[in-house]
């Protein structure tokens, strides 16, 4: 978030949405729209949705993806008066929408408790049919922990750095990400003596990801510990891969999904890495392909379609 955005209530798209309200209403009326669906962010998209739904008298599904004002991380640095406006608009839109959808049940639960409005959970998903029933142990030494992305502010390397530093033999662990560590993370890795354990590869297209990820000993799932209400998007990349997911995410949804799909263990991540280093376990899992398929895009789309049909019936 840049400095200017911190001082603009809701988001910087508000003037655009406000200016085009009448045009969008006219278009919706001309097309005979029977239901409005909006998603954020930008949160100001809900401004247009509310306007259209009220003008046409049709149901409105407000989709929120990740949390807005209840997130303890994304709103840092915004002045108190801006946060107050954000909270007021969030409450207004959530309580006026016919239904509010979220991508994690924990997020939905917290908003139900805060505002008492109707919610549904539609998880994000993976969009292909190649689901592995389990890949063979790659038999690597050093063992390889792959983070499919680049460590950043909301997905920091610090928990992974401390995990490697705390294991029995950091020299036999490699953490692969697809972009270099930032200066702060690199400094911490140097301080803890594990900088050589972190390597980066060039980003690869999603169509090439499965082949690369299936060569990993563990697939690392990490996020800012304060974001305990969200499901990191990488979970959906990892589920069809057939390699163990090593989760450092404090989220009950993630634990439930990994457990019901057989895609990893909920034991202490440090214990899992140390067992692997000691050769006491093989990094092999037996995923439940049918359970994983439940999180495919076709299933998520069908759930949204069912909700929409129910509201316009």
User: Does the pLDDT of residue 52 top 80, yes or no?
Assistant: yes
Looking at per-residue pLDDT, the higher value among 2 and 254 belongs to 254
Q: Give yes or no on whether 3-125+298-312 and 143-292 have one common fold.
A: yes
Question: What local confidence, expressed as pLDDT, does residue 283 receive?
Answer: 63
Helix (H, G, I), strand (E, B) or coil at 210: helix
Distances (CA, A) of 300 to 103, 117, 121, 189: 10, 22, 10, 39
Question: What local confidence, expressed as pLDDT, does residue 123 receive?
Answer: 92
Give the pLDDT mean for 9-22: 92
Residue 93 pLDDT grade (very low, low, confident, very high; cuts 50, 70, 90): very high
User: Does the pLDDT of residue 240 top 80, yes or no?
Assistant: yes
Distances (CA, A) of 146 to 210, 244, 250, 263, 287: 12, 11, 19, 15, 19
Place of tokens 């069809």: 240
Q: What are phi and psi of 30, to 5 degrees?
A: -65, -35
The CATH number of the structural domain formed by 143-292 is 3.40.50.2000
What is the pTM assigned to this prediction? 0.87
The domain limits of the chain are: 3-125+298-312, 143-292
User: Do 244 and 219 form a contact (C-beta atoms < 8 A)?
Assistant: yes
CATH fold label, 3-125+298-312: Rossmann fold (3.40.50)
Residue 92 pLDDT grade (very low, low, confident, very high; cuts 50, 70, 90): very high
- Mean pLDDT, rounded, of the chain: 91
* Distance in angstroms (rounded) separating the CA atoms of residues 191 and 185: 10
Omega cis (within 30) before 42: yes
User: Does the pLDDT of residue 152 top 90, yes or no?
Assistant: no
Question: What local confidence, expressed as pLDDT, does residue 280 receive?
Answer: 64
Tell me the per-residue pLDDT of 156-196, one tens digit each, with 9 for 90 and over.
899 999 999 999 999 999 999 999 999 989 999 999 999 99
């Amino acid at each position: 978030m840049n400095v200017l955005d911190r001082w603009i209530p809701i988001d910087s798209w508000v003037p655009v949405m406000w200016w085009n309200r009448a045009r969008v209403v006219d278009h919706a009326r001309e097309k005979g729209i029977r239901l409005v669906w909006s998603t954020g962010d930008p949160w100001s998209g809900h401004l247009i949705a509310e306007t259209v739904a009220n003008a046409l008298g049709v149901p409105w599904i407000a989709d929120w993806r990740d949390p807005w004002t209840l997130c303890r991380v994304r709103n840092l640095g915004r002045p108190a008066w801006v946060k107050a406006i954000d909270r007021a608009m969030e409450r207004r839109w959530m309580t006026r929408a016919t239904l509010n959808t979220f991508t994690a049940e924990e997020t939905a639960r917290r908003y139900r408790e805060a505002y008492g409005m109707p919610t549904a959970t539609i998880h994000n998903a993976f969009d292909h049919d190649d689901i592995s029933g389990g890949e063979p142990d790659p038999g690597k030494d050093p063992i390889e922990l792959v983070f499919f992305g680049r460590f950043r502010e909301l997905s920091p390397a610090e928990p992974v750095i401390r995990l490697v530093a705390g294991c029995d033999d950091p020299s036999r662990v490699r953490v692969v990400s697809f972009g270099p560590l930032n200066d702060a993370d690199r400094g911490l890795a140097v301080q803890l003596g594990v900088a050589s354990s972190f390597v980066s590869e060039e980003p690869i297209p999603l169509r090439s990801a499965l082949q690369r990820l299936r060569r990993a000993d563990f697939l690392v799932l990490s996020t800012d510990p304060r974001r305990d209400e969200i499901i990191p998007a990488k979970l959906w990349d990892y589920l069809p891969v057939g390699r163990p997911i090593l989760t450092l995410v404090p989220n009950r949804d993630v634990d439930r999904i990994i457990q019901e799909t057989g895609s990893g263990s909920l034991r202490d991540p440090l214990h899992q890495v140390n067992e692997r280093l000691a050769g006491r376990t093989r990094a092999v899992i037996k995923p439940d392909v049918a359970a994983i398929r439940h999180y495919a895009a076709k299933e998520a789309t069908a759930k949204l379609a069912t909700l929409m049909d129910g509201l316009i019936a």
